[in-house]
Amino acid sequence: MKKKMVTALLAVSMLAGLSAVNVMAADDDTITVGFSQVGAESDWRTANSQSMKDTFSKENGYDLIFDDAQQKQENQITAIRNFIQQEVDYILLAPVTETGWDTVLQEAKDAGIPVIIVDRMVNVSDDSLYTAWVGSNFKLEGQKACEWLKQYAAAKNMSEVNIVDIQGTIGASAQIGRSAALEEAAAANGWNLLEQQTGEFTQAKGQEVMESLLKQYDNINVVYCENDNEAFGAIEAIKAAGKTVGPDGDILVMSFDTTKQGITDTLSGDII
């Protein structure tokens, strides 16, 4: 691999839902970056992929090798090993889950290739296996959402909070943090956490899970969706069941990610 003296500048904008890493080098020195993207499960992820492609363009001095793992960790491990064989200068990894990375990241370290983790985090035995992480505090996001719900419930004199949690991909950092925040808040505030099921961060699965939950429980008044696409699916299921959403409706729908459609639904009152 070509040896380069470079300075890495890492930045993340969670409001826009985009992650980017800019590496500055000589104009005539192309930097090869291998990016293992978890998949295309949500609007946020699609925007994130486009942001990476725009940032690591040939015009900006990069050669980007983009790999879509289709939500499978084994595909990401294969991609990383391919990047190592191709002697890329940097590896970017948006991991599908937190665990199971030690061996392949050690291989990258042994090859002298810096690994930058983006969005979700990895849980490894040795933090030196990656150079940096660019992401969000997912538990803090959940805590802030739950604090809002606590204050809302008090202001509206809600006699009880009967909440269901449509979780993200089990084992992903966003799922772990957002689920933990809700579980702690439910215990602290006496909310009825009726059930937790994974919606896999997709609209189709979110709708499927919500349809099932509505058949099991007739007293749901809050749905805590761990991303916008799950919320879109949940809203469809709720309306199809003849119920309404929003502050003046039957069920409040909470969500994360701030996608364009998510903002639109928030302004309309479908998402709170």
| Closest by CA position to 143, among listed 119, 178, 173, 170 | 178
Give the CA distances from residue 161 to residues 154, 193, 197, 222, 249, in Å, rounded to whole numbers and listed in that order: 10, 8, 18, 7, 14
- Residue linked to tokens 């990383």: 80
Copy the structure tokens of residue 56. Answer: 């690591």
Copy the structure tokens of residue 183. Answer: 């579980």
In contact, 255 and 271? CB cutoff 8 Å: yes
Q: What is the pTM of this model?
A: 0.84
Backbone angles phi, psi at 164, to 5 degrees: -120, 150
Query: What pLDDT does 29 receive?
Result: 87
In contact, 34 and 21? CB cutoff 8 Å: no
Q: Which helix (H) or strand (E) holds 148?
A: helix 138-155
Amino acid at 31: I
d(CA 240, CA 212): 12
CA triple 228-70-49, angle to 5 deg? 60
Q: Where are the beta strands (DSSP E) in 69-114?
A: 90-93
Q: What is the pLDDT along the chain (272 residues), one digit of tens a residue?
A: 443 323 333 433 332 343 444 444 445 589 999 999 999 999 999 999 999 999 999 999 999 999 999 999 999 999 999 999 999 999 999 999 999 999 999 999 999 999 999 999 999 999 999 999 999 999 999 999 999 999 999 999 999 999 999 999 999 999 999 999 999 999 999 999 999 999 999 999 999 999 999 999 999 999 999 999 999 999 999 999 999 999 999 999 999 999 999 999 999 999 99
